[in-house]
Amino acid sequence: FAVFAFDYLGLDEEGKTKIKKEDGTETNSRGDAVPEDVIFMGTEQPKWNGGLSNVFRYKNFTLTANISFYLGHVFRANNSIDGMYDNMYQNYPAYQNNAWSEPGDELNTDIPGFITNRSASIYSRYITFFEYANTNVHDASYVKLRDLTLSYSLPKKLVTEVNLENVVFRATLSNVLLWKANKIGLDPEFGMGLPTGQNAITLGLNITL
């Protein structure tokens, strides 16, 4: 689960991506990059993980809160622009609004310009330097309140009158709160391609005969 990245230096005056090599020199050519030029950024596998379940009861009500945490790992943000050439109808990523377009832009952005012709793009600059840049690797540590469940059990006297053992009504709110260590506002689970789920309310009824 190791994550490696180029030591990204942004763009030159022609909008080409450039990196720092292991020997300290700079290059904007894919032919100059060798395995020794990438740097170790960390692991995608959390070093520490766990969970905590809290249960609060008051008379016939029960409130359950499930918290999970994953710490000490990293994720690579999906800043792929090369894939856009495969489908002319695909939506542009938002960061593409800040892409390089003319000399001088390299002073304010490190995002390569978008060239609609795929072969011309590959020939003119090496996009992989940007996609696998160390600037696209972020702290994946997070703590998430995954769900809150409030349940209510009907009084035993009422349940036994209809020849039942137990009746419980339940409401669950999913993906309640998230603390994340990264500064780009992205849920690390989403950044790593994992299903994050949406804030949702689920209602349930459990009847025991």
pLDDT reading at 122 higher than 90? no
Mean pLDDT, to the nearest integer, of 100-113? Answer: 90
Q: Rounded distance, CA 16 to CA 10, Å?
A: 8
pLDDT band, residue 117 (cuts 50/70/90): low
Buried (b) or exposed (e) across 40-73, using 16+ Cβ within 10 A? Answer: ebbebebeeeeeeeeeeeeeeebebbbbeebeeb
pLDDT digits (tens, 9 = 90+) for 177-193: 999 999 888 888 876 66
The predicted model gives 72-97 an average pLDDT of 65
First vs last C-alpha separation in the chain: 49
Residue 89 has pLDDT above 50, yes or no: no
